[in-house]
Structure 1
Amino acid sequence: MPEETNVEVWTDSDSNTIIDHVISHYHRPLIEELSLLSPYVTKVSRVHGEHHPELLKVNELFYEFKKEMIEHTAKEEEIVFPLIKKLAANEVENTEEAINMIIELEKEHDAAGAILKELRIITSDFALPFDACGTYTLVYQRLEMLEADTFMHVHLENNILFPRYIK
């Protein structure tokens, strides 16, 4: 499989390889991380929200992002990725429907990116206050990693995979 961090390699990879990579290296870890991070985001907002009201917004944005991404990854895996695999094999008769679904996914990517950008703004670029505890620190670090992984995931789809089918 191509080196994950070398985006140039992905331009030469076939669609099935990219799809399999996205599922195994982005979808699975994302769903797991959203589940694991949830109680910490809730705890930090509950414990520190009175003195750091931005954490209430962080909590709200995180859960909005979580809901969106769970639905989005399920749609990709159950509907759109199988359709793209058929497109790649020239087994789709109604390409317009497939293209519209891909365009819808790109809009969902934009919405997820907007949530992440708002999280970055609300947290002042994930800057920790002087009284941040270990859990607070962990939440900000993991939110920043979640952001980086999501942007790489979206880049592979929007800039490498999807343009092959929407011209």
Structure 2
Amino acid sequence: MTDFTVWKTAPFNAVIDHILQRYHHVHRAQLDELVPLAQKVAAVHADTFPAEVAELLAQMQSELLSHMMKEERVLFPMVGQGVGRGAAMPISVMMHEHDEHDKTIARLRELTNNFDIPAGACGSWTRLYRLAEEMVNDLTDHIYLENEVLFPRVLAS
């Protein structure tokens, strides 16, 4: 887990800029590579690779892109305008979606045996699990920063 101490007192616009640069842009790039890579591994290793991994990553990409767009177009501008508790409804929606992301992460960890690379896995399969684990760790930190640092501060302002 990343140390989020600096974000507990940073101005909201700095926290949001950090989220956009460190997480939103990174997640888009990660998923752009992960989804086709998972589809490739699923096709080549159909007899041994859990096909649901490719489906979950594609679902995660779709849901996360939608989620981030809502934050970027609705919630973050509201926070920037200083609406405070007026952002309670969109924050509630985002937190519910974070719970859904957590469920998807748990299923992905289960299917991949916590990203344990199987003996004899090819380079693509190895890359897939390493990148998926990195993305999941980033997403977990991203959710924590919003749920435990940014959102409570916004609602208290």
Query: Taking structure 2 as the reference length, what is the TM-score of the superposition?
Result: 0.93
* Residue in structure 2 matched with residue 99 of structure 1 by the alignment: 88
Percent identical residues: 34
* Residue in structure 2 matched with residue 45 of structure 1 by the alignment: 42
Q: Which amino acid aligns with 2:53?
A: V
| Matching of residue 108 in structure 1 with residue 105 in structure 2 | no
CA offset digits 1:78-128 (Å, max 9, x no partner): 1110011112xxxx4982xx2111010011111111101110011111112
| Matching of residue 81 in structure 1 with residue 76 in structure 2 | yes
Change (3 A) 1:160 1:73: same
Q: Could you say which structure has the greater relative contact order, defined with CA pairs below 8 angstroms and 6 or more residues apart?
A: 2
| Matching of residue 161 in structure 1 with residue 150 in structure 2 | yes
Asked if structure 1 preserves the Cα contact closer than 8 Å seen for 2:84 and 2:154, the reply is no
Instruction: Spell out structure 1 runs of 4+ moving beyond 2 A.
Output: none
The partner residue of 2:65 within 67, 70, 91 is 70
| Matching of residue 34 in structure 1 with residue 23 in structure 2 | no
Change (3 A) 1:165 1:133: same
Please, which runs of 5 or more residues in structure 2 have no aligned partner?
A: none
Question: How many residues are treated as equivalent by the alignment?
Answer: 155
The structure having more radius of gyration, on CA atoms, is 1
Please, which runs of 5 or more residues in structure 1 have no aligned partner?
A: none
* Residue in structure 2 matched with residue 15 of structure 1 by the alignment: 12
The partner residue of 1:24 within 13, 21, 26 is 21
CA offset digits 1:11-69 (Å, max 9, x no partner): 111111100000011101111111122221110011112223x2x01011111111010
CA offset digits 1:111-147 (Å, max 9, x no partner): 1111011100111111122231000000000000000
| Matching of residue 147 in structure 1 with residue 136 in structure 2 | yes
* Residue in structure 1 matched with residue 56 of structure 2 by the alignment: 61
For residues 16 and 72 of structure 2, what CA distance do their matches in structure 1 show? 9
For residues 16 and 85 of structure 2, what CA distance do their matches in structure 1 show? 21
Residues 120-131 of structure 1 aligned to structure 2 (within 5 Å): 120-131=109-120
